[in-house]
Chain A
């Protein structure tokens, strides 16, 4: 093929895979991408609003961490995003594209809402919270098992299957909203157990979101240990490297696919419980709110490194909360945050190329070198 290429004339630049890159250099590339994306966002903001971009970025910082309440909301959003991303790590390591996190979160959230609505304050609150968390995990697990079963046994395309499951989950929620609506005719569920606070996560050390943080930390540590130290984690990596290799090594591939996907679904379901019990105290089709999709990007971009996942989740939540603030401050529509997030993501995704590859000037006299 090289000889054919030479006939056409070699391009002025060619791409070479890097053998490795120093941590510092990788950070520098990412930082450049972030700075560039912020500049592009600033240009977009100026074009649309005609405001001073520095003022707008001041507004973003103010909106994300300006007051104690706003700071904790940003933290709350960060840990939920992190929890979902952590849940997605095992399946992605297996090269199984679970883009159904959105649906698994919604089903976990639905189970939690149902338990809150039907059990109410008839049992002690800690017991109810425990049941809610288990309920969310079990339902999320079952929701994830359906596509996993077909993938394992019939090699059904999991990307498309899990995607469709999201919308089935959404319609189930729509149906239940009608049944649970409060007040009648509002087409919303309203705050569940607003008076008794049954099933709400309690404040610990005076902080309403302490339990959210604890759950996420425990899950992150557990998954990191599971992936690094446990035999299961090794099996997942082997299946990810290739099912044939795994079969040859005597790994039961079907079992690993189902087990890993159920684990992932359980964590997404748990995230649904955390959203309902620990944050919104209600359920709607926007309970997952695209986090299932954003978390995919978080997990993938951080190469499944927990610290990197925390950093990216925090950054995205920061920008999103900030964008909500500038939207109200400058009288724009809230969706400004999606545009800013989108631009940030394009740059962060694009910069990975420069971490993995290197552009080299082609020496036109001697293209044979390229092959070596």
Chain B
């Protein structure tokens, strides 16, 4: 029983970072932009939040957790939104190919994260291991009374505020996409930008807004990982392939943020399953780690078999829209 609860708590802990990325990518993809830069954006969000908190804590003798939290949150949001702006500028305004730009942003973003993560202490004058424990404590703070209830407290109330934010944002994103007028417009842009344009929807504005806000949300995933999961430190490449798992989760969730919530927990569970399965050797452990990707491929293939219109990717996904090219 205890091991099951630990497993679920750990799975949720793994899943939250992926959920942020997936929610952001769903909003982006619904506008017809396939942003393969999400893994890089998540690295950028994580490291810039960490750097913001780091320089803040370095500059004052008595750093307050709240101020550190706000600064790191703003830094992460700003830098990842800038990444989204760069992507939108290149693909929407300069009409470059989305896959190529996305991959370039991932190269850049992962390098950006590892570069600053690896050399930030040297830049600041050799202060040794970067640790922003004070700011991270604000992220790790759990709900005071409720988290002490046995079993349920740990399972439901034992997380920092970003974990709840991830779920709230996913629900809001669902509401926006499927219940709000502007969400309908956004989906129209993703399905058929020419028709949306003819209906008077400003395709460029929608694509920019969806991509920039999607990237800002995805960047929070990196911040969550650095602050709540790692507790305010950095180790190069430790974020690993979670960004690509977020892109995979979009498929598993069939472009619906509500599905992404349980999907992220399922992915988190599959991600750490190898620790809990008995009788695995080191070699077979590595094979078990493959399951999230295999599951994604199976879902991808099944949806193309069934060909149900509401489960398909947005029809213009990956294509740039030029009003003149028709």
Contacts and interface: CB of A to CB of B under 8 A. Distances in A.
Interface of A: 1, 4, 15, 17, 48, 97, 99, 150, 154-157, 159-161, 163-168, 170-172, 174-179, 290, 293-294, 296-297, 300-301, 331-333, 335-339, 341-343, 345-346, 349-350, 352-353, 356-357
B304 interface: yes
Given A297-B104, A349-B100, A156 B304 contact: yes
Contacts of B115: 332-333, 335-336, 338-339
Contacts of B241: 167, 170
Contact of B111 (A160, A178, A179, A339): A339
A368 to B, nearest CB: 15
Contact of B96 (A150, A166, A170, A349): A349
B244 to A, nearest CB: 6
A156 B299 CA distance: 10
Dominant secondary structure at the A interface? helix
B248 A164 contact: yes
Contacts of B106: 293
Interface size class, chain B: 35 or more
B97 A345 contact: no
B110 interface: yes
B200 interface: yes
A177 B97 CA distance: 36
Contacts of A1: 197-198, 323
Contact of B104 (A176, A349, A356): A349
B108 interface: yes
Contact of B289 (A171, A346, A352): A171
Interface string B71-102: 00000000000000010011000111101110
Given A97-B318, A157-B313, A333-B114, A345 B301 contact: no
A150 B300 CA distance: 10
B304 A154 contact: yes
A332 B119 CA distance: 6
Contacts of A166: 244
Contacts of B318: 97, 159
A171 B197 CA distance: 44
Given A1-B197, A338-B112, A345 B104 contact: yes
A243 B142 CA distance: 55
A175 B104 contact: no
Q: Top 7 nearest A-B pairs by Cβ distance?
A: A338-B111, A342-B108, A333-B118, A353-B94, A335-B115, A175-B286, A174-B286
B251 interface: yes
B287 interface: yes
B4 interface: no
B103 interface: yes
Contacts of B146: none
A172 B248 CA distance: 19
A341 B107 CA distance: 8
A241 to B, nearest CB: 15
Contacts of B304: 150, 154-157
A48 B200 CA distance: 46
Nearest to A300: B100
B104 A154 contact: no
B283 interface: yes
Contacts of A346: 86, 90, 104, 108
B100 A157 contact: no
Interface in B298-322: 300-301, 304-305, 313, 318
Contact of A297 (B34, B100, B236, B248): B100
A193 to B, nearest CB: 22
A156 B211 CA distance: 24
B3 interface: no
B108 A168 contact: no
Contacts of B90: 346, 349-350
Nearest to A357: B95
Given A160-B300, A163-B247, A338-B112, A171 B97 contact: no
B110 A338 contact: yes
Contacts of B86: 346
B89 to A, nearest CB: 8
B112 A178 contact: no
Nearest to B106: A293
A352 B304 CA distance: 34
19 contacts: A17-B325, A99-B36, A156-B301, A160-B247, A160-B248, A160-B296, A163-B248, A164-B293, A164-B297, A175-B284, A175-B287, A290-B107, A296-B103, A333-B236, A335-B112, A338-B108, A338-B112, A349-B97, A357-B95
A216 B323 CA distance: 41
A26 to B, nearest CB: 16
B1 interface: no
Nearest to B317: A157
Given A17-B324, A297-B104, A339-B112, A168 B290 contact: yes
A243 to B, nearest CB: 15
Given A99-B103, A345-B104, A345-B107, A174 B95 contact: no
B107 A338 contact: yes
Contacts of A168: 290, 293-294, 297
Interface string B25-55: 0000000001010000000000000000000
A160 B312 CA distance: 13
A350 B304 CA distance: 34
Point out which of B106, B289, B290 has the most chain A C-beta atoms below 10 A from its C-beta: B290
A179 B114 contact: no
Nearest to A351: B94
A300 B97 contact: yes
Given A172-B287, A178-B286, A335-B236, 16 more contacts: A17-B325, A48-B119, A154-B301, A164-B248, A164-B296, A165-B297, A167-B241, A171-B290, A175-B283, A296-B100, A300-B100, A332-B119, A333-B114, A333-B118, A338-B111, A339-B108
Contact of B34 (A150, A159, A301, A350): A159
Given A163-B244, A164-B293, A339-B115, A157 B95 contact: no
